[in-house]
Amino acid sequence: MGRDTLSLDHLAAELQNRLWKNYMGTGKMYDSIHLQFTGEVVMEIRGSAMDAIREAQKKTLISICLEKHKKLFEDITGRQQDKIRKQFPVLFQQKY
């Protein structure tokens, strides 16, 4: 996404929007998400940022599955799940 500075309030929506737009424009997504804090940041803020990223990943995964399969991720076959995991690893990334 570059080195954009985002407020915590808008992080989830902006990340979801960028992941989705990237997919719609190219059929692909970013390889990974890198979270960088400047200066000392309390653990509560760090946790909130990671929660926002996880929320964006979850909502984008829902959108992808509904677009491709008309079903939620949990409702598609194991083979389809594996294909989505391989094609969009950023949606399953747990370390930022």
Provide the number of structural domains found in the chain: 1
Q: Is 14 among the domain residues?
A: yes
Q: Is 2 among the domain residues?
A: no
Query: For 23-44, how does the pLDDT look when each residue is reduced to its tens digit (9 = 90+)?
Result: 999 999 988 999 888 889 999 9
Dist. CA 43–CA 59, nearest whole Å: 24
Query: What was the pLDDT predicted at 2?
Result: 60
Q: Is 36 among the domain residues?
A: yes
Query: What was the pLDDT predicted at 59?
Result: 97
pTM value is 0.88
Token pair 């969009």 is found at 88
Q: Is 22 among the domain residues?
A: yes
Confidence of residue 3 (pLDDT cuts 50, 70, 90): low
Q: Is 1 among the domain residues?
A: no
Q: Is 3 among the domain residues?
A: no
Half-sphere exposure of 59 (CA within 13 A, CB side): 16
**Higher pLDDT pick, 6 / 20:** 20
Q: Is 32 among the domain residues?
A: yes
Q: What is the DSSP string of 33-57?
A: ------S---HHHHHHHHHHHHHHH
Confidence of residue 12 (pLDDT cuts 50, 70, 90): very high
Nearest of 65, 6, 69 to residue 36 by alpha carbon: 6
- Owning domain of residue 15: 8-92
Query: What was the pLDDT predicted at 29?
Result: 92
Q: Is 69 among the domain residues?
A: yes
Q: How remote is the C-alpha of 69 from its chain's centroid?
A: 19
